[in-house]
Amino acid sequence: MSPPHRFPVGENAVGRYVAQRLMLAGMTLVIVSLIVFTLLRVVVPLFYADAVDLIAGEYGHGDPALTKQLRHDYGLSNSLPSQYAGWVGQLARGDLGKSLFNGRPVSLEIKDRLPVSFELGLIGILSGLLLAVPMGVVAAVRQDRWPDYVFRTFAIVSHSVPGFWLAIVIITFGSLWFNWAPPLKFRYLQQDPIAHIKIMLLPALLIGLTPSAGLVRIVRTQMLEVLRQDYVRTARAKGLGNSTVIFRHALRNALIPVVTVIGLSLVTLIAGTALFESIFSLPGMGQYLVTSVSKLDYPVIMSTNIIFALLIVASNLAVDLSYTVLDPRIRY
Amino acid sequence: MADGGYWNRSGRRRLSRRDALRTAAVGIGGVAFAAACSGSNSNAGNNNAAAKPASSVAAAGGSSSAVAGTPGSAASAAAVAPATKQATPSSPLLPRTDTSAKAVPGSVFQGYTTADATNLDPLSSPSFTANAVGAYMYPRLIQFKPGVGVPAIGDVAPGFAESWEQPEPTRLVLHLRKNAIWDKRAPTSGRPVDADDVIFSWNKFVDKSVSRKDLANSTNPQAPIQSITAIDKYTVEVKAAFPYGPLLNSLAFGRYLHIMPKESDGGFDPRNDTRGFGPWTLSNYQRSVKFEYRKNPDYYIKDRPFLDGFDYPIIPEYASALAQFRAKKIWSFGGLRQEDVVSTKKDLPDLLLDQNALSRTNWVIYFGLQPGSPFLDDRVRRAVSMLIDRDTWIDTFYNVSDFKKAGYPADIVWHSHVSSGYAGIWTDPKGKDLGEGAANFAFNQAEAKKLLTAAGFPNGIDTEYRFISTGEYGTIFPKYCDVFKGMLEDGGGFKLQQINPDYQTEYLPKIYYGKGDFKGIAVGASTEYPDADGYMFAYYHTQGPREKVAFMGNGGDAKSDSLIEAQRKELDFNKRIAIIKEWQSYMATKMLMVPFPGQATTYSLYWPWIGNVGVYRAYQGETNPDETLQTLWFDKSKFTG
């Protein structure tokens, strides 16, 4: 990510900056597409297997004619450059392709699933923030006193305990002690908002737990640094109240690295919800991607990778632009 | 168990080894009905007898129609393996009483499945998962007859064909039902199902199915069916390339010939949509999330199914599925690990305890048979078999001691070269019928040592030992192999250099399909077949698609080949059984491969409001679940969910 001081300054600078970044994003996507295609279609078959080997398994090895036919049916018998060109051409037309195995358009699946994963990631990161910012601030303000120790311990423990493990523990002991289990049938927000919240809340909170641990430490460190700055001392000397100094002057400046981390975490969270989706039976992107990877469903894997790359590029740009809001000194 | 043997010493070396194995051991095999209820991908199977000859059969109008002209049924039933006991007043097992007469139609069964299907087209999917899903919508010409109160034994019953006759040994004429109609949605629009659909399905099977080499003679000269043609709109003729004993079983097998509509070729995409005529329709499918099936009101058997439908969310995570089961949100739990059975039943005493049928799969230890290989000598292969402590192995992996401690019936059965799940044709290695070869199944380190010495290896054999460790055969498989290795090395019989080949690039092409052209010992899985012949031919005949014996000496074992050929072409049931038993006795003396040790009783648990649960028992739990699911009903009076 580009450091703020390199941003251009002047009239229409924001527009020029965004245009530059979009061009760069285009190049990034082309490079990502090449890497993904090469890894998936050249490296994996070289050292492991291709989609047809994998899915036909033991029977396929006993019937070479059938596996040849399957390769043809799946469009895998053309040369690799021509397959790459075909795929990129499809992408350029906005067509993400169809699953090799069930023929369902990838775009339809993403349309249904991305909102679920996005919601999980968003609630996760928001709940993590709600937990981490107050903890980090209090830990900094009360440095080396018991609240600091408690919150730092929380941060270490939360960071050490994987959220999915905690989910399994909660489900296991919930069922053993109370014969409780999380809701089994997914309901979309528009179908039944209450049922939807009941389904989403626990996994989202658990998803947010691990990043919140890191955020507690970042907020604390940044606050400690900012609280020692001259302008904070000046604010206090002017007679401003403690809460005004902390929340208006210190916290706002301390949040720049936090926003950077959140921007990057959100996409990671969306892409990394597979285990939670599996444990809580949620129809998100993670499950879809894991199922597709296990079967080497090329169009799905390649297109979802491009979508995730696009999201990362977009979130980076959004984070960069948000710096101006948090720090008025930053100009484009 | 030998004094001071492997287990005693390993107990000292690694105190928790056996406990760890126990903990890791999952429920293996024998959960056919559980799988039927849950749709899980367990390695399930049922007992069966060898396939009966076709003779002449007519439907009695129900799914469990009487099958006439099937000599040997009594013998088959009598030979049901020991681990299939009935409940007694003091037994912890559920009563197997048919309650169909008081069944109340309605309600939606709550089950689950552990994995998604590759797609929904059972004839062209390169994966068997599509067969399991397709079975609900696309019936077969013939189906396996469920066991009522006892395990299914491989008898067949009418499916889409309501009757059939076999005028010549190689001709089978099937008369189709006239009251079957396709899904009323376009493009099938409720039209009658007829012979054209059968021919279309057969042609598609020959072109596209991964199982085509098992059945279609045009793709494999050893496969039995030469052609299927239409005689008229409701009559088809199956022409066999040679007289084939298990022909009907092959047509009933859930991985083979499902009947699909002609419209599936272009009219709709059968990979992600369905238009069937079976007992169920797929009303809602969300990839990697859930299947929801509903009753087909136009199903050709009236008043079935009892249930309005069933829901199968996909729950791959074991802890989640167990929690849902305990919370009564799912009603049956086919994938319950055997080590969790006793504690779950103790916590929730209302649960019904059901004894699963035995698995019909029989995995193998096989040998590198290159020129000069020590395993070309019968004595060395027999020594390998004698070094395996079968009872201890089964006790470890099947939770036997814990079941016995809890007062559950827990019987151990050994496989011969035919799985102990094939009741009626399996010869018990512990009995007298196997002849002199039975001694090769007994754990006897001293005798093994003598055999190795006689074969010229007084100091044992230093060789390679291969198995895959990457999960394709399940997470427990490497533990099986680890224990075998310990047993073979114990007592100085073998010194094994362990190699874990990559499944795709090395194991399948060079070892599994290597026809014995490798060095040392390998361990591998086998798949399920409609009849014992499928297994015997595929693995032990020199022309078999998965054979591991042809590289031996002068192209394999001629006597074994000739017995396998004789049984598959024999149409007299009793004569066929006699040949298969003779083959088992011969194999026991030769040990071309060493079969897995065997199996023991396994259990499933159900909530008590599932009427008829455990009563109708599928022959093939994974891919013929429609045969039993339509007999279940919801007993509201017992519902506490």
Query: Rounded to whole angstroms, what are the CA distances from B188 to A104, B181, B184, B221, B267?
Result: 21, 9, 6, 35, 8
List CB contacts of A319: < 8 A, sequence separation 6 or more: A1, A259, A260, A262, A263, A264
Once rounded to an integer, what is the mean pLDDT over residues A47-68? 80
The pLDDT of residue B56: 52
Contact B272 A102 (CB under 8 A): yes
B261–chain A nearest CA distance, Å: 18
B270–chain A nearest CA distance, Å: 8
Smallest Cβ distance to A58: which of B289, B324, B512?
B512
The answer to whether the beta carbons of residues B144 and B124 sit under 8 Å apart is no
Contact B509 A186 (CB under 8 A): no
- Chains A & B: contacts with CB separation below 8 Å: 133
List CB contacts of A66: < 8 A, sequence separation 6 or more: A56, A60, B208, B210, B212
Backbone dihedral angles phi then psi of residue A203, each to the nearest 5 degrees:
-60, -35
- Kindly write down the DSSP assignment for every residue of A233-260, as one continuous string: HHHHHTT--HHHIIIIIIHHHHHHHHHH
- Which residues of chain B are within 8 Å of residue A48 when distances are taken between CB atoms? 502, 504-505
Smallest Cβ distance to B319: which of A63, A102, A168?
A168
Report d(CA B384, CA B449) in Å as an integer: 10
Once rounded to an integer, what is the mean pLDDT over residues A146-169? 89
Closest residue in B to A49 (Cα) is B504
Q: Which residue in B180, B179, B144, B165 sits closest to B64, CA to CA?
A: B144
Contact B272 A287 (CB under 8 A): no
- Which residues of chain A are within 8 Å of residue B527 when distances are taken between CB atoms? 58
In 10 A of CB B190, how many CB atoms?
Answer: 13
A115–chain B nearest CA distance, Å: 15
Provide the chain B residues 46-65 that lie in CB contact (below 8 A) with chain A.
Answer: none
B327–chain A nearest CA distance, Å: 5
Query: Rounded to whole angstroms, what are the CA distances from A44 to A71, A125, A297?
Result: 16, 34, 13
Interface predicted TM-score of the whole assembly (ipTM), two decimals: 0.79
Listed as own residue / partner, the contacts of A13-17 with beta carbons closer than 8 Å and 24 or more positions apart are A13/A331, A13/A332, A14/A321, A14/A332, A17/A332
- Which residues of chain B are within 8 Å of residue A62 when distances are taken between CB atoms? 213, 513, 545-546
B590–chain A nearest CA distance, Å: 26
The pLDDT of residue A190: 87
Chain segment B171-218, per-residue pLDDT in tens: 999 999 999 999 999 999 999 999 999 999 999 999 989 889 889 999
Q: Which stretches in chain B have pLDDT values below 70?
A: 1-91, 126, 553-554, 620-626
Between A327 and B616, name the one with better pLDDT: B616
Chain segment A98-135, per-residue pLDDT in tens: 998 888 899 999 898 888 988 888 888 888 889 999 99
Calculate Rg over the CA atoms of chain A: 24
The pLDDT of residue B12: 32
Instruction: Say if residue A149's pLDDT is above 90.
Output: yes
Contact B126 A70 (CB under 8 A): yes
Once rounded to an integer, what is the mean pLDDT over residues A6-14? 61
Once rounded to an integer, what is the mean pLDDT over residues A310-323? 83
Report d(CA A22, CA A17) in Å as an integer: 9
Closest residue in A to B213 (Cα) is A63
Q: Which residue in A16, A289, A254 sits closest to A141, CA to CA?
A: A254
Provide the chain B residues 293-312 that lie in CB contact (below 8 A) with chain A.
Answer: 311
Report d(CA B374, CA B461) in Å as an integer: 8
- Which residues of chain A are within 8 Å of residue B350 when distances are taken between CB atoms? none
Does residue B218 sit at the A interface (CB-CB below 8 Å)?
A: no
- Which residues of chain A are within 8 Å of residue B289 when distances are taken between CB atoms? 186, 281-283, 287
Contact B512 A70 (CB under 8 A): no
Q: Which residue in B543, B539, B545 sits closest to B212, CA to CA?
A: B545
What letter represents residue B250's amino acid?
Answer: S
What letter represents residue B195's amino acid?
Answer: A
- Which residues of chain B are within 8 Å of residue A278 when distances are taken between CB atoms? 316-317, 320
Q: What is the largest CA-CA distance in chain A?
A: 85
Smallest Cβ distance to B513: which of A49, A62, A66?
A62
| Preferred mutation among A111, A175, A191 to probe B, highest tally of B CBs within 10 A | A175
Does residue B286 sit at the A interface (CB-CB below 8 Å)?
A: yes
B536–chain A nearest CA distance, Å: 17
Contact A180 B211 (CB under 8 A): no
- Which residues of chain A are within 8 Å of residue B329 when distances are taken between CB atoms? 181, 184
Closest residue in B to A166 (Cα) is B319
Provide the chain B residues 519-548 that lie in CB contact (below 8 A) with chain A.
Answer: 527, 545-546
> Pairing between strand B290-295 and B309-313?
antiparallel
Contact A185 B219 (CB under 8 A): no
The pLDDT of residue B47: 34
Report d(CA B447, CA B388) in Å as an integer: 12
Does residue B269 sit at the A interface (CB-CB below 8 Å)?
A: yes
Query: Rounded to whole angstroms, what are the CA distances from A43 to A76, B1, B307, B500?
Result: 15, 49, 50, 21
In 10 A of CB B602, how many CB atoms?
Answer: 27
Closest residue in B to A174 (Cα) is B323
Contact B289 A281 (CB under 8 A): yes
